[in-house]
Amino acid sequence: MPSSVWTPIALASDLPPRLVIPVSCDGQDLALWRAESGKVQAWNDRCPHRGMRLSHGFVRGEFLSCIYHGWRYDGAGICRKIPAHPDLEPPATIRVNAWSCVEQDGVIWVAPQGAEGEPPAFAGLAPLRSLAVEAAPEEIALACDSANACVLTKGDLTILMQHVGTTAVLHALIAAEADAEARIAASRRLEALRFELEAATKEKVA
Out of 12, 21, 52, 178, point to the residue binding ligand FES (CB under 6 A): 52
Q: Which of 58, 63, 68, 122 binds ligand FES (CB under 6 A)?
A: 68
Contact 104, 121 (CB under 8 A): yes
DSSP-assigned letters across all residues of 109-163: EEE-TT--S-PPP-TTEEEEEEEEE-S-HHHHHHTSSEE-SSEEEETTEEEEEEE
Site track for ligand FES across 80-119, x = CB under 6 A: ----------------------------------------
Region of 21-29, 48-56, 158-166, 182-190 interacting with ligand FES (CB under 6 A): 48-56
Which of 13, 21, 28, 49 is the binder for ligand FES (CB under 6 A)? 49
Cα–Cα dist 68/89, whole Å: 19
In angstroms, give the least distance from the CB of 67 to ligand FES: 7
Nearest approach, Cβ of residue 22 and ligand FES (Å): 15
Using CB under 6 A as the binding criterion, the count of chain residues that bind ligand FES stands at 9
Q: Which residues contact 19 (CB under 8 A, 6 or more apart)?
A: 33, 34, 59
Q: What are the residues whose beta carbons fall under 8 Å from the beta carbon of 96, sequence distance 6 or more?
A: 43, 44, 46, 47, 48, 54, 73, 77
Using the contact rule CB under 6 A, the part of the chain among 12-20, 65-73, 93-101, 145-153 near ligand FES is 65-73
Give all strands of the β-sheet with 157-164 in edge-to-edge order. 125-133, 167-175, 157-164, 151-154, 146-147
- Residue 60 interacts with ligand FES (CB under 6 A)? no
Q: Which residue ranges make up the site for ligand FES (CB under 6 A)?
A: 47, 49-50, 52, 66, 68-71
